[in-house]
Amino acid sequence: MASRTIENYLKQLWLQQQESRGKYVPMGKLAALVGVTAGTATTMVKAIADSGLAKYAPRAGVRLTRAGEQLALHVLRRHRLLELFLVEILGIDWSDAHGEAEELEHVISETVLARIDLLLGHPSVDPHGDPIPSSSGTVEAPELCSLAELQAGSKTAIVRIMDQSAEFLRFAQTSGLVPKAAVVIEHNNPQAGAISARPDGKPPVILSMAAAAKFLVRPCPTAGKQRRKRS
With contact defined as beta carbons under 8 Å apart, do 13 and 64 qualify?
Answer: yes
Looking at beta carbons only, is 113 or 185 nearer to Zn ion? 113
Is 77 a binder of Zn ion (CB under 5 A)? Answer: no
Helix locations, 89-191, DSSP H: 94-104, 110-119, 166-175
d(CA 105, CA 158): 26
Looking at the Cβ atoms of 166 and 194, the one nearer to Zn ion is: 166
**Which is closer to Zn ion, CB of 29 or CB of 98?**
98
Please report how close the Cβ of residue 134 comes to Zn ion at its closest, in angstroms: 18
Rounded to the nearest whole angstrom, what is the least distance from the CB of residue 127 to Zn ion in the complex? 8
CB nearer to Zn ion: give 69 or 126: 126
Contact between 11 and Zn ion per CB under 5 A: no
- From the CB of 101, what's the least distance to Zn ion, in Å? 5
Q: Closer to Zn ion at the Cβ: 90 or 223?
A: 90
Q: How far is the CB of 98 from Zn ion (least distance, A)?
A: 4
Of the candidate spans 25-33, 93-101, 142-150, 183-191, the one that interacts with Zn ion by CB under 5 A turns out to be 93-101
In the complex with Zn ion, the residue whose CB is nearer, 35 or 52, is 35
Cβ at position 126, least distance to Zn ion in Å: 7
Q: Is 98 in the site for Zn ion (CB under 5 A)?
A: yes
Q: Quick one: which segment of 30-38, 66-74, 92-100, 191-199 binds Zn ion (CB under 5 A)?
A: 92-100
Minimum separation from the CB atom of position 50 to Zn ion (A): 29
Question: Nearest-CA neighbor of 2 among 97, 73, 63?
Answer: 73
* DSSP symbol at 132: P
**Beta bridge partners of residue 208, listed in sequence order:** 194
Question: CB pairs under 8 A, 24+ apart, for 60-67?
Answer: 60/24, 60/26, 61/24, 61/25, 61/26, 61/27, 61/29, 61/30, 62/13, 62/24, 62/25, 62/27, 62/30, 63/13, 63/17, 63/22, 63/23, 63/24, 63/25, 64/10, 64/13, 64/14, 64/17
Spatial distance between the Cα atoms of 177 and 197, rounded to a whole number of angstroms:
9
Interacting residues toward Zn ion by CB under 5 A: 98
